[in-house]
Amino acid sequence: MQLIVEAVAGRESCWQMSKDPFIQYHDQSGRDALLERLKSRRGHGPLLRFSIRAPQTVSSRHWQLRLVVLGISDLLNGVNFNSAYFPAFVATRAQVAQRPPAMANLSRSEVIKSKPIGDGLNVFRDSFNSLCKDLGLSSSVDGWQHIGHEGLQSLALDLASALLVLPASRMLRSNSGNKNFFEDLLRLNSAVNSDDFDIERVTPLLKAVINNESDDIIWDKAYAAVTEFTPPPRPLPFLNQTPWSNATSSIVNSSEHRKYVDDVLKDELGSSLYIGVPGFYDAFFGDVEELESISQAVFAQCQEGGEPIFSDEGGWRDWPNEAKEPEVLKWFAEKIDQFLGFTTDHRNVPRRLLAQPNQPLEGSTAERKLDIGFVNNLDADDISKCHWSEILVIGELKSKPGSDTLSKTWRDLARYAREVFFAQDTRRFVLGFTLCGSIMRLWEFDRLGGIASSPFDINQDGLQFVSVVLGYLWMNKTQLGFDPTILEADGEKYIEIMRHGRKERLVIDETMKRAGCVAGRATTCWKAHLADDDTRAPLVIKDSWQYPERDEEGELLREATEKEVINVARHYCYKTVHVAGERDDVRGNVRRNLDISKATNYFVQQKKAESSMLPPKLSGMDSSWRGRSTADTINRKRSSSSLNAPLPPKKRTCSNSPTKREQTPSTHNRIRRRVIVRDCGTPIYKASSCVAMVAALEGCIEGRRFAERDVSIGNLMMNEDVDNPSWPSFLIDLDLAIRSEREEPSGARSKTGTRAFMAIGVLLGEKHSFMHDLESFFWVLLWICIHYNGPAEKPTVVHRFDKWNFSETEELAESKKGAVVYEGDFKRMVEENIRPYYKSLQPWLNRLRKVVFPNGGRWEKEDRGLYSRMKEVLREAQRVLNVAAE
């Protein structure tokens, strides 16, 4: 049994525990101490006794005590305690039990009748009467309007807590897909405690309780209040609303220190790595020509002779017993040569094993090494320098078999996949493997995360090992994950599109942008031109992997173009990419419809995904209550078909099935969409002068009126080429945008974008507003002035601001607030960090700060006039700088 008890004070946060070594604690640290103390008693059986006493100076209406007990079975049954609003509280016999079967099928009215409220809400009524008495108000609904917002919010919390302990709350069914109504009330409690609490939503419930209405009416009002706060089951938020999640693609101007990048990569991958997926080998190796027959022939030769190199009793004859890295690398290379020597297939194999675990590969921002892999370079040896662009298959070596099931091992391999994705702009997915001792597992990484086969012992299943090695050597480029829609001829790369019923060829001139991530949109942009256009008018091809639920960026651009919206990249063509005649999506085309719900760790990962969507007070609890780990065991006598063997049904210890959702991790998907626009430029940080950069920023602010969100230095473009018909400045990359014909909040609690440029309010979880985007323009300008020293020099890394890429969101929000709140501090920070090229913009940065953060504070209400005030500052800066230059 596992219990977590949470004690929360309202205005007063000082508590004492009568039977524990610590006497007094405050705020978060005290709460953590209580949780740790209680969790340490898990092994002492079901009896839990503790008492908490509030200081006598705290009146009953100023504090509350909420008991939340979360177990892996069901809810509390039979908790005896004194009033939560009295100075003492004692909980005894906290026994975890399932809901009585007799109650399971009762109707709402039958439950209400069998479990009456009685005097269960009298404590709340006493609290209300006490509050009214203190304020000199009538203790009836007539005095309601004279209680301030804070008082009403406190009352609502008191009532929600009181409803939680009523026996009926655990018996009543949920109307919102949760386990029961108790769970709905938990979410109501959290919602009431939020900053955007609206008392009107629970007013009918409060009035019903104060007026001593019947139980039926009170519960009806409670259901109505919960419905207001709890929408029906929906896809996980990152599908329909895409709240911000930390991603390696958002790192900008950073040294990419491994420790920090690994932390961000861990957040990026989250619960998206699945192991033991049935059918993996057939999906990715099954189409390799003649692989099965040739592998069997090669393996047969491995077993021939008086001293075969493989035997059923001992496995591979010369396998290094301790599986140390240098010995395994040497052994692996020798086996490849032997396998190729045994085959009569004479197909060209321009590949070899790369074994340079101590040699950094070229092409990384920071030094990155690869344990083992297959490389597209026959001349590669132990001392030659290789580039990440040459890596075809990635591998990770560990000496201990137990490392196979460690998530750290998986993320080490994912780090290599990130480097390959970034260096190879036509890579759709990356194949790899881990070899932990003699335990091998095959991996595939794509824009949803990563999936892996079941493990197998290469000394037990030699044929499988031979097939894997030859498969990696003989796969064609499409099977390895390269994009077959990017074609090559006469040394040129190109794509073909159908536009207005006519086929057009677009020749790719250069790669403009490649997002550095594993899971995500993975935006890639190429500069191109029409093959039959003598003027070579520039076009931009943009590929990105989008959630199907999101509006298509191409449609947004087409609409903006038709409306002649200025300073937004103009539409030329858009389509969903198809590969092999099928829509190019991750679940179907990349993963070949493999069912990750049958992965051995699916249940654990699903629980992790669900808990990450819970309110912080729940999701932050010890992870062990969320679900049991599923062991990924290895049968030592596994046959060569083991990678495709169906998994047995998972045993469940809980009697209740998990709540059904409309979307689960197994149904998440991303589709590759291709947008072509006829505006091509360079990022504004490459401007030829300060004046040009400021003018471009002003133009981009104007373009933002059409579409909200995702303001970053990579999305603000400019054009200084007089022969280029593109806008002088414009916004590109609208795949996270929403229509913004009216300047009003979008209503989405979203945190999407590049961390360094995110508004403070967005970092703190506020609903999105156009005001946040305008603030982002300020952060972009500040960032450019600090990191760039003109178009000719590479950007610098500034340690103070590099941390913005990796800080927790709340910490980053506080850092940004500290940077702008005091004028003197801001001016000193700019003076110490601004680059010489932008020194003349120093006073204008402060003027813009005053406009965006009046009196050093954040905006409290939306102000459409902020557009014009920001543009006025930028126009005045241009005028003064132009005069100074004359």
* CB 427, CB 482: distance < 8 Å: yes
Q: Residue 491: which residues within 8 A CB-CB, separation 6 or more?
A: none
More confident residue, 544 or 84: 544
Say what the pLDDT of residue 611 is. 62
* HSE of 687, CA atoms in CB hemisphere, 13 A: 23
Say what the pLDDT of residue 162 is. 85
Say what the pLDDT of residue 805 is. 80
What tokens were used for 451?
């999936």
Kindly write down the DSSP assignment for every residue of 484-534, as one continuous string: TTSEEETTEEEEEEEETTEEEEEEEEEEEEE---SSS---EEEEEEETT-T
Ramachandran angles phi, psi of 585, nearest 5°: -120, 165
| pLDDT class of 144 with cuts at 50, 70, 90 | low
Say what the pLDDT of residue 612 is. 59
**Beta strands in 644-795, from DSSP E residues, in sequence order:** 671-677, 682-683, 707-708, 716-718, 729-731, 738-739
Nearest to 646 by CA among 838, 436, 399, 454: 454
How do residues 45-75 score in pLDDT, each as one tens digit? 333 333 343 333 333 333 333 333 322 222 2
Max alpha carbon distance in the chain (Å)?
102
More confident residue, 2 or 812: 812
Q: CA angle, 13 as apex, 11 and 14 as ends, to 5°?
A: 135
Taking the C-alpha atoms of residue 550 and residue 671, their distance in angstroms, rounded to an integer, is: 10
Least confident of 54-68, 378-392, 837-851: 54-68
Say what the pLDDT of residue 873 is. 95
Mean pLDDT score, 154-176: 83
Q: Residue 15: which residues within 8 A CB-CB, separation 6 or more?
A: 7, 9, 24, 25, 30, 52, 53, 54, 55
Q: In the predicted model, is pLDDT for residue 247 greater than 90?
A: no
Q: In the predicted model, is pLDDT for residue 365 greater than 50?
A: yes
Least confident of 164-178, 278-292, 426-440, 536-550: 164-178
Taking the C-alpha atoms of residue 365 and residue 260, their distance in angstroms, rounded to an integer, is: 13
How do residues 748-797 score in pLDDT, each as one tens digit? 323 346 788 899 999 998 888 889 999 999 999 999 999 999 988 888 88
| Element holding 825 (H helix, E strand) | helix 823-833
Kindly write down the DSSP assignment for every residue of 414-430, as one continuous string: HHHHHHHHHH-TTBS-E
- Topology classification of domain 688-713+741-886: Transferase(Phosphotransferase); domain 1 (1.10.510)
| pLDDT class of 575 with cuts at 50, 70, 90 | very high
Say what the pLDDT of residue 253 is. 46
Q: In the predicted model, is pLDDT for residue 264 greater than 50?
A: yes
Say what the pLDDT of residue 720 is. 93
Q: Which letter does DSSP use for residue 41 in this model? A: T
Q: In the predicted model, is pLDDT for residue 395 greater than 90?
A: yes
According to DSSP, the β-strands at 671-677 and 571-576 are: antiparallel
Taking the C-alpha atoms of residue 697 and residue 705, their distance in angstroms, rounded to an integer, is: 13
Q: Residue 563: which residues within 8 A CB-CB, separation 6 or more?
A: 706
| pLDDT class of 647 with cuts at 50, 70, 90 | very low
Q: Which letter does DSSP use for residue 368 in this model? A: B
Say what the pLDDT of residue 192 is. 73
The CA-atom distances, in angstroms, between 84 and each of 8, 104, 208 are 11, 28, 21
How do residues 411-464 score in pLDDT, each as one tens digit? 999 999 999 999 999 999 999 999 999 999 999 999 999 999 999 999 999 999
Looking at the chain, the domain(s) classified CATH 1.10.510 span: 688-713+741-886
More confident residue, 13 or 809: 809
Mean pLDDT score, 484-496: 95
Which residue(s) pair with 261 in the sheet?
none
| pLDDT class of 691 with cuts at 50, 70, 90 | very high
Say what the pLDDT of residue 308 is. 94
Q: In the predicted model, is pLDDT for residue 209 greater than 60?
A: yes
Say what the pLDDT of residue 638 is. 38
Say what the pLDDT of residue 881 is. 92
Say what the pLDDT of residue 93 is. 28
| pLDDT class of 159 with cuts at 50, 70, 90 | confident
